[in-house]
Amino acid sequence: MNLTYTGLELRRVARDLVSMFFIAVLPAFFYVIFGASMSYGSEPVGNGNAALYVMIAMAAYGAVTATTGVGGMAAVERMQGWGRQLGLTPMSDGQYVVIKGVVALVISAVPITLIYILGFFTGAEGSGAAWFLSAVVVVAGAAVFSLYGLLAGLLFRTEAAVGAASGSLVVLAFLGNIFFPLSGTMLTIATFTPLYGYVALARYPLTGGEVVSTTGEAAAVQPLWMPAVNLVVWGIVFALLCTWLVRRGRGRQ
């Protein structure tokens, strides 16, 4: 891996203050507003409290915003001629992919670290396993959404499209049971949306699969395989669509 190019890429992304605001500052703000500052933050949820429940979701939201942006820009750069420039260097396509993956991982760690630190100092409580395992799932699962960003870049081939893909995560977050607990028909719909499985898996070490409800209904317990299948299926869908678009693009050349 080319450490010099990796460092340049990290500095380039970090200098984009608007993107870093939406990646790190906004999710942290959401956590403070919807988690730490609310009276229900101390209410018990699983082996912790509601503040930790919200904290995990906001960290996941920030992480996928980061990986979607990096994945999308990688596609746009290649199609706008940057790939030909890199072809003049010793860097291979494989190295380019690895570098972009490392950049996405490092950038996604920024909101996760910030929000977990905020949670620690603002009353988020849970078992050690819930803190550690949720962070692992948030980091690992966010990689799937680099494919979502890549798909947007391949499909529309503009930086605006990548921004739109990142912006669409807000809608997917509402539909995915991230910003507030859904119930009834809306919860049923949520289980089929891309972000639901990812965040439900991240929360699983805290909730043990218990579905949080604000309607006073008896809490249902969701088996682990349901969010896992959701995440895997959407990952496959994104990967297949990206592969098809790459092959179609080559066929036109």
Termini Cα distance of the chain: 29
pLDDT of residue 176: 92
Using DSSP's 3-state secondary structure scheme, residue 202 falls into: helix
Q: Give buried/exposed letters for 49-66 (b at 16+ CB in 10 A, else e).
A: bbbbbbbbbbbbbbbbbb
- Say how many domains are in the chain: 1
- 113 touches 23 (CB < 8 A): no
Sign of the Cα torsion 230, 119, 27, 142 reads: negative
Q: Tell me which residue has tokens 């579905």.
A: 211
pLDDT of residue 197: 95
Residue type, 221: V
- Which residues constitute the domain of residue 105? 3-252
Contacts 24+ apart (CB under 8 A), 164-172: 165/68, 165/72, 166/22, 166/65, 166/68, 166/69, 166/72, 169/61, 169/64, 169/65, 169/68, 169/145, 169/195
Closest CA to 121 of 178, 199, 51, 60: 51
pLDDT of residue 217: 60
pLDDT of residue 30: 93
- Rounded to 5 degrees, φ, ψ at 230 are -55, -50
Q: Tell me which residue has tokens 């317990």.
A: 221
pLDDT of residue 249: 57
| pLDDT of the chain, 253 residues: tens digit per residue | 577 778 888 888 888 888 889 899 999 999 999 998 888 889 999 999 999 999 999 999 999 999 998 877 766 666 666 556 665 666 666 676 677 778 888 899 999 999 999 999 999 999 999 999 999 999 999 989 988 888 887 787 777 777 788 888 999 999 999 988 888 888 889 999 999 999 999 999 999 988 887 665 656 788 999 999 999 999 999 989 888 877 775 555 5
Cα–Cα distance, 201 to 56 (Å, whole number): 10
pLDDT of residue 162: 76
- 143 touches 71 (CB < 8 A): no
Residue type, 27: P
pLDDT of residue 235: 92
Helices (H), the chain: 3-15, 17-20, 26-31, 50-79, 82-86, 93-121, 128-142, 144-156, 159-175, 184-190, 194-207, 225-252
